[in-house]
Amino acid sequence: MKMDTCSEKYGSTLIMTLVLLVTSCMVIGAVAIYTSTNSRNLKTTINRDRTFYLADAGLSVAMNRAENDLSPTISLTESQTFFSDHSVFDGGGMVANASAQSAAASSSTQSSGNWGFNTSIENINGRTNRLIAGADFAGTLQAAQVDCVDEGTETSLNFIYRLVVYSAKMGGLFQVSGHGDEADFVNGDVYVRGSIEVTGDARLRHGELDYNKNGLLEPGESWKEAYAVGYYGPMTRQAFDAHCDSVDQYNDLIYGNGEYDPGEAFCDDFGNGVYDENEEFTDLNGDGEYTPGDTTVDNGNGKWNAGENWVDDSEHELRQNGQYDQANGYHDGSGCWNDSYEVKEWAEGWYRQNCHKWRWGWCYSWNTYSCAGWPAESFEDLGDTTYTEPEPFVDVNGVYDEGEDYLDDRNGDFDWGTMASGLITGMDIADESLGIRNALGGNRVIEPPDLERMHYDRPKTGSAAAFSYEGWGHDFAVTASDYSSNGHVINNTSQAEHIFVRNVPDNDPDRGNDYYRKTYGGVTVRSRGYELVYDNDGNRIDDYFMEDPTDSYYASYDTDNEIDGTTHTAPSYINVKPEHNNKVYYVDGNLYLHGTPTWSYRFKEPGTRITIIANGNITISDEFYYNADYDPNLGEDDIDSTIIKNPSDALCLIALKNPECTNDSGNIYIGDAAKGTGGSIHAMMYAENDFIDNNIGGSGQAFISIYGNMAAGGELAIHRDSWDWTRLDVTLDRRLSRSEIIVQGLPPAPAGTVFIGNDGVPDWKILPGTWKSASIINK
């Protein structure tokens, strides 16, 4: 039988077609599955890379803040402020736990729309810390960590210089009171090993919240600054004014420090002087460039369009023609202005061929003019987005610039607030939402410094005694032997001791006459009213008055350097020579800041910083002012401890207990026993015994203002009459605790207490081999 080869052929073809079709579908399906899987993997990889970028950025920001002595702890919300362009991160949805270890356990919380990083710090050992950054993007979590150590030179400063008021007497009582403008105020942290009583309108500082709520900032902890519960940045004037108004009721909770700190709200008025992309600008003449004298505003396309206003060219008469004239071009004398390239080429060619008087672009025969080089006339344009330096612009880059207004609600330091080992009354208010904790007392005991181990009586050139503290000894001793020539004055500036006058007349024979005079070595010294002090054996203790008989203003004052427009702040000068600056002076006796007829003293040279140790008492009955920036409009009623801006000087005073005069030594007296005066005192002060008022309750003195601190190993015995209250205001000089300045001879922090400050330049170093990361890829 004949076979149908055609049918067989077609059947084979059909079978082959079906096989190929099925195979193709399978291949296409496999390719689709493969493509879909790769697409998901690619998306996951991109999300992971973005999350890793965020974690790495978190470590970088935290490290930078640590290097600048700021808290490295950053919240997720705050982290978003570090990115100018958020669009690439749109769609994040998980908040990662900020620990690399816990990230591996997928510890997270749902928070739709969130992305960014959060950072924390853990203390590992001593000065070694661990920075941890957890990051989130689109549900993909990444955590990274690194160990770092501060290798900067550490300066150990005793706790008393971190406090504005300190008293170590067990069972003592510190009272602040007054009403209205006469009320006491204390700007800084306070500790009393006893009780504190706050009445009237007086104000003391509440403590800031810390993580474990024990009132102490410990290694690795961060804190919430009082009322600074938000993190702010640049604002418009309207927004800034509204923000300031919203927190006005919390003014007494704001711990400002007189300078801008990162996170404070500020009005970005001035900008940073550099144009940044997308910032608004104004082009004054529409030519795309700044031209001095332009008066119109260009917000357009840089070209003149029909209907737009213009200003006729006042420098060229031919262009005062009632129409807008472009740059360059030609003028035909009849008012027709041609500026196109074609017209220019035609006209110039024709002129050159037909005008025999063509000279310097001007054709005499046709009275036609070339205006090459003339600029376009000024015009008002609408719609241009091209900025050309140096046109004015609005700065929105988020950088605080000197002179801009800011809300001073931070100070960059942890504030312990008001502490007492006993009871605190009058401060039973606390609101954690405002960042403050209760001040009720019962705080941990803070021991006074051990001054014996400073061995101030020993010269630094000698050998150190056993167990001496760093910084022990003195550079210059002020003793009776230095005054061998006449016993009272040194009028040679080569001797560092010349800034002290020894044993001035004590108003003998008729006490009370401040104008009784004696002459020693050619220097006339006026008498003062003061009480002599005798040691345990009945011998007189020498008295040394800080004043400079070598200066031209000795026993007078400089009326050209008043602070408040009165002679009370006109200074008599203390001239410390450069070779005697930044030194420790050991005065073997009592120290007085008490002169006549002057009311106040000041260092002759700005930048003078000395420490004076008195082996006895220190009495301050006249005023001492730092060289600083003072408002030229200050009046007599404006003087208090907050007026000092950018001080350049430092005076540290320490009164030691004299073992040979146990009945009266180691005290600091404020005020004049005879007249009750006192006033402004700029100094860091520590009395090993008591801090005592010296008749300051009367009408002779309206205030005692201390810029620095007042500290005592004993009691703060500052008593005033309630019927005529003498205001006490104290503002902490933070330069020491911030290591902005170094003053020689101050006692260090004893072992087991908080170390404050370093050399002012933290030297953070990442420890090699400590970087770790952990990822969770959420599908």
Q: What pLDDT, on a 0 to 100 scale, did the predictor assign at position 627? A: 97
Q: Does the pLDDT at position 326 exceed 70?
A: yes
Nearest to 571 by CA among 679, 684, 709: 679
Q: Does the pLDDT at position 393 exceed 60?
A: no
Q: Which two tokens stand for residue 187?
A: 């700007």
The DSSP letter of residue 331 is: E
Q: What pLDDT, on a 0 to 100 scale, did the predictor assign at position 352? A: 44
**665 phi, psi to nearest 5 deg:** -160, 160
pLDDT (average), residues 187-210: 91
The residues near 661 (Cβ < 8 Å, ≥ 6 apart) are: 533, 534, 535, 536, 541, 616
Strongest mean pLDDT among 154-158, 294-298, 649-653:
649-653
Whether the CB-CB separation of 655 and 689 falls below 8 Å is answered with yes
**Token pair 């697409």 is at which residue?**
39
Residues 57-60: contacts with CB under 8 Å, at least 24 apart: 57/82, 57/117, 57/133, 57/135, 58/117, 58/118, 58/119, 58/133, 58/134, 58/135, 58/144, 59/119, 59/131, 59/133, 59/144, 59/145, 59/146
Q: Does the pLDDT at position 9 exceed 80?
A: no
477 against 336, higher pLDDT? 477
Q: Does the pLDDT at position 6 exceed 50?
A: no
Nearest to 476 by CA among 453, 492, 499, 454: 499
Pairing of strands 368-370, 362-363: antiparallel
Q: What pLDDT, on a 0 to 100 scale, did the predictor assign at position 757? A: 36
Q: What pLDDT, on a 0 to 100 scale, did the predictor assign at position 570? A: 94
Q: What pLDDT, on a 0 to 100 scale, did the predictor assign at position 227? A: 84
Least confident range from 98-112, 470-484, 646-660, 765-779: namely 98-112
Q: Does the pLDDT at position 5 exceed 70?
A: no
pTM surpassing 0.85? no
Q: Which two tokens stand for residue 582?
A: 């930044």
The residues near 656 (Cβ < 8 Å, ≥ 6 apart) are: 451, 456, 613, 614, 615, 616, 665, 666, 688
Q: Does the pLDDT at position 578 exceed 60?
A: yes
Each residue's pLDDT tens digit, 504-530: 987 655 545 556 889 998 999 998 888
The residues near 686 (Cβ < 8 Å, ≥ 6 apart) are: 160, 166, 449, 653, 654, 655, 709, 711, 712, 713
Q: What pLDDT, on a 0 to 100 scale, did the predictor assign at position 39? A: 61
Per-residue confidence at 292, pLDDT binned at 50, 70, 90? Answer: very low
Q: Does the pLDDT at position 108 exceed 60?
A: no
Per-residue confidence at 723, pLDDT binned at 50, 70, 90? Answer: low
Q: What pLDDT, on a 0 to 100 scale, did the predictor assign at position 660? A: 95
Nearest to 396 by CA among 268, 251, 282, 306: 268
Mean residue pLDDT of the chain comes to 76
Q: What pLDDT, on a 0 to 100 scale, did the predictor assign at position 685? A: 97
pLDDT (average), residues 631-657: 93
**Bridge partners of 502?**
544
Q: What is the C-alpha to C-alpha distance for residues 724 and 514, in angstroms, rounded to an integer? A: 27
pLDDT (average), residues 316-342: 58
Nearest to 705 by CA among 164, 256, 170: 164
Q: What pLDDT, on a 0 to 100 scale, did the predictor assign at position 279? A: 53
pLDDT (average), residues 349-360: 41
Q: What pLDDT, on a 0 to 100 scale, did the predictor assign at position 557? A: 94
Q: Does the pLDDT at position 364 exceed 50?
A: no
pLDDT (average), residues 405-432: 86
Q: What pLDDT, on a 0 to 100 scale, did the predictor assign at position 3? A: 40
Q: What pLDDT, on a 0 to 100 scale, did the predictor assign at position 366? A: 40
703 against 126, higher pLDDT? 703
The residues near 126 (Cβ < 8 Å, ≥ 6 apart) are: none
Each residue's pLDDT tens digit, 275-290: 454 455 555 555 554 3
Q: Does the pLDDT at position 630 exceed 90?
A: yes
Q: Which CA distances in Å does 490 have to 176, 586, 624?
A: 42, 16, 22
Each residue's pLDDT tens digit, 201-254: 998 988 888 777 666 666 667 788 888 877 887 888 888 999 999 888 888 788
Q: What is the C-alpha to C-alpha distance for residues 338 and 350, in angstroms, rounded to an integer? A: 14
